[in-house]
Amino acid sequence: MSSPVKGGPEVVLRLAGISKRFGPLLANDNISLTLHAGEVLALLGENGAGKTTLMNILFGHYVADEGTIEAFGRPLPPGSPRAALEAGIGMVHQHFTLADNLSVLDNIAVGTELLWRWRSDRGAARRRLLDLSQRFGLEVRPDAPVGELSVGERQRAEILKALYRDARILILDEPTAVLTPQESAGLFETLRRLTADGLAVVFISHKMNEVFAASDTVAVLRAGKLVATHATASTDRAKLAELMVGRSVKPPAPAPLSPGEPVLELAGVTVASGHGRPLLDRVDLTVCRHQVVGIAGVSGNGQTALAELVSGLIRPDSGRLSLKGSVVEHGDPADMVRRGVARIPEDRHSAGLVGTMAVWENLIAERYRDSSFSRLGVLRRSAARAYAREVIEEFDVRCPGPDARTQLLSGGNMQKLILGRTLAHGPDLILASQPTRGLDIGAVSYVHSRLLDARAAGAGILLISEDLDEILALADCVTVAYHGRLTPLLPHDRVSVSQLGLLMAGHWDILRDILPETVHAA
């Protein structure tokens, strides 16, 4: 390792006048930043503010249209991850860049040796990895295939990957998005060890509390522009929030409503996975009218199976699913739509919409067999277009018209399109999977207000989200998914973030403290 920190902190990274355009979108607008050794810089901003683009330019995934980057006093050639790595920059991507079928050691060692050596020196690689892992308290299993690792382990492997290559500047893109609050705390502890060793860290976030928990300096991006840089200690939440959004924001405030009759009931539902533990394991859950039930949990604990079950894509292997009091025997997506379920899929690009088809064609996708849209197998195209125009108007979808190709819409407008497709028919139950993931603040509050309107109108809502803040803001009751099981419903005002974090990590013994009266039942 190179020089320890001496005297004043050395400038390790300097970005000057970075601009980047994607088609009509100005993703980065003349951004300049400096980073010092031993510093943690939080890059704060809404989704779509340009944080990830900026870091991808820094790491050479994209080439900036304008501007220069200097690392350790030397200009960094653009567009080359290799050059960034050689300059001592390591990046931990939001979606981990690990190959599932290869071992941790393979993933870390690949590309670190000259390609044309006649054999890989695995022994030396293993020793070096274990040494780093000990020094920074990052525990990993070198020979385990990455596919078998937990999310936390994968992140440790990613960080080790950067350290293995002598990174002196570490970029972390939304590192806590997939962690429990306790795991996040562990990550911040790791960051402190790293900066004590003289590394500089940039971490990208849109969560305020993390900025205060972990950073020395905070830079705020808004709509591609750097709007402020502050020492974290000299600022406060309200100020940062306003900088980030450009106006003061009010969190959604659901009006208190008493729950009506049940619309969705799961009784002892099990979904087998084909190997090992079931995806859903004897799950009981009730969602009533006028009620938002939030499902919290680290991804991969059964939320996807639950969403697919309520979407009609899979069926329970045992147990019962009822809608509005009647048992669903052979559910399929079309049946669920007919029974009044509005389904907002987790991944709007791959499951929600057909990108190459027109807006109107996507809007009728769940109902094209209705007599209003087709007769004797012939599409009523003008009726469908007229309907599309209404929905576009009603749900404020910004697009050139019903014939526009869907893939040209922004993420927020795609989500409005899906809301329009599903909510326009007065649903009884809404399944909202990650309804605001990746959306900017305007779209987020639009989605939230639409969901709350539907709740007021009598729909029950099953909200599955990785964003605890979202769940706590919207849900009347929360349940935590862990290993395919669900906790009993917890009233949102009786559970704290840290308690949710413990439940998400499987410490269900604390249920005793939250719900003393149901201990015996659970």
Partner 1 sequence: MRLEPRTDTPLALRLLAPVGAVVAALALCALLVAWTGAPVLRAYGLLFEGAIGSRFALTETLTRATPLILTGLAAAVAFRAKLWNIGAEGQLYMGALAAVVVGGGMLDLPAWALIPAVMIAGMAAGGVTLLGPAVLKVRFGVDEVVTTLLLNFVVLLLVSLLLEGALKDPMGMGWPQSAPVVEAAELPKLVARTRLHAGLAIALGLSVLLWLIDTRTIWGYENRAVGANPRAAAFAGMPVTRVMLRTALLSGGLAGLAGAAEVCGLKGYLTLDLSPGFGYSGIVVAMLAQLHPIGVVGAALFIAGIFVGADAMSRAMPVPNYIADVLVATSLLCMLVAGLLARYRLRRG
Partner 2 sequence: MDFLSIILDILLSAAFWTAVLRIATPYVLGTLGELVCERAGVLNLGIEGIMTLGAMAGWMAVYQGADLWTGVLAAAACGALLGLLHAALTVPLGLSQHVTGIGVTLLGTSLSYFVYRLVLPQASTPPTVEPFQPLALPGALAQTPLTYLAFLLVAVVAYVLYRTPVGLAVRMVGENPAAAEAQGLNVTAIRIGAVVAGSALMALAGAFLTLSAFNAFFFNMVNGRGWICIALVVFASWRPGKALLGALLFAVFDALQLRLQQASGGVLPYQLFLMMPYLLSILALVLVARRASYPRALMIPYRKGER
Q: Which residues bind partner 2 (CB under 8 A)?
A: 22, 56, 59, 61-63, 81-82, 85-86, 91, 93, 97-102, 106-107, 109-120, 161
Nearer to partner 2, 56 or 487 (CB): 56
Candidate residues 30, 80, 235, 374; the one interacting with partner 1 per rule CB under 8 A: 374
Please give the single-letter amino acid code of residue 434. Q
Alpha carbon distance 415, 417 (integer Å): 5
- DSSP one-letter string for 10-69: PEEEEEEEEEEEETTEEEEEEEEEEEETT-EEEEEE-TTSSHHHHHHHHTTSS--SEEEE
Partner from partner 2, partner 1, none contacting 324, C-beta within 5 to 8 A by type = none
Alpha carbon distance 443, 415 (integer Å): 8
**Residue 405 within binding range of partner 1, rule CB under 8 A:** yes
Nearer to partner 1, 126 or 339 (CB): 339
What is the distance of C-alpha 325 from the center of its chain? 34
Nearer to partner 2, 204 or 471 (CB): 204
Nearest approach, Cβ of 146 to partner 2 (angstroms)?
A: 9
Nearer to partner 2, 35 or 57 (CB): 57
Nearer to partner 2, 110 or 231 (CB): 110
Fill in the per-residue mask, 28 to 67: x = in contact with partner 1 (CB under 8 A), - = not in contact: -----------------------------------x-x--
Partner from partner 1, partner 2, none contacting 101, C-beta within 5 to 8 A by type = partner 2
Q: How far is CA 324 from CA 55, 77, 220, 454, in A?
A: 48, 61, 47, 16
Alpha carbon distance 436, 289 (integer Å): 22
Alpha carbon distance 400, 403 (integer Å): 8
- DSSP one-letter string for 205-231: ES-HHHHHHH-SEEEEEETTEEEEEEE
Partner from partner 1, partner 2, none contacting 265, C-beta within 5 to 8 A by type = none
Q: How many CA atoms lie within 13 A of 101 on its CB side?
A: 0
**What phi and psi values does residue 57 have, to the nearest 5 degrees?**
-70, -45
Tokens linked to 448? 């939230």
Nearer to partner 1, 175 or 345 (CB): 345
Q: Which of residues 313-342 bind partner 1 (CB under 8 A)?
A: 313, 332-334, 336-337
Nearer to partner 2, 81 or 254 (CB): 81
Q: How many residues bind partner 1 (CB under 8 A)?
A: 35
Nearest approach, Cβ of 403 to partner 1 (angstroms)?
A: 11
Reduce the secondary structure of 432-460 to three states and give it as a string. Answer: EECCCCCCCHHHHHHHHHHHHHHHHHCCE
**Residue 132 within binding range of partner 1, rule CB under 8 A:** no
Fill in the per-residue mask, 252 to 291: x = in contact with partner 1 (CB under 8 A), - = not in contact: ----------------------------------------
Nearer to partner 1, 8 or 23 (CB): 23
Candidate residues 14, 61, 315, 381; the one interacting with partner 1 per rule CB under 8 A: 381
145 DSSP 8-state letter: B
Candidate residues 38, 345, 435, 460; the one interacting with partner 1 per rule CB under 8 A: 345
Nearer to partner 2, 27 or 489 (CB): 27
Alpha helix segments (H runs only) across 395-510: 411-423, 441-457, 468-474, 497-504
**CA nearest neighbour of 49 among 441, 437, 445:** 441
Partner from partner 1, partner 2, none contacting 405, C-beta within 5 to 8 A by type = partner 1
Burial 243-271 (b: 16+ CB within 10 A, else e): bbbeeeeeeeebeebebeebbbbbeebbb
**124 strand-pairing partners:** none
Catalog residues that contact partner 1 under the rule CB under 8 A: 23, 63, 65, 78-79, 311-313, 332-334, 336-337, 343, 345, 350-357, 361, 365-366, 368-369, 374, 377-379, 381, 405, 408
